Amino acid sequence: MVDLVDAPLNEAPADEVWVWVSVDNRGEGIVAFSTGPMGGMSLITAKRSLLPKLRDYALMTARRTGARLRLVRFTRAEVVEEIGG
């Protein structure tokens, strides 16, 4: 069994997703903030209200690594699979 660490209440359809990506000469990649022994947390959300908090983590990551980070927004969704419920 897997314990959920965070299961926030749904606010609206996830028709937009914001992602912090790192940018270098090889392209872009999704940024993850190190949470220590627990691993990492990808800086991605479908909730606009969480953007300021994710920006704080992005700033800490950029300062720590020297990486150039970019916030991108995806606005097109295609349901690929649905499980349960």
More confident residue, 69 or 76: 69
What is the mean predicted confidence (pLDDT) over 29-37?
86
What gap in Å lies between CA 10 and CA 15, rounded to an integer?
Answer: 12
Which tens digits make up the pLDDT trace of 44-73?
999 888 999 999 999 999 999 999 999 999
Helix (H, G, I), strand (E, B) or coil at 84: coil
At residue 3, the pLDDT reads: 57
What gap in Å lies between CA 45 and CA 16, rounded to an integer?
Answer: 9
pLDDT band at 4 (very low <50, low <70, confident <90, very high): low
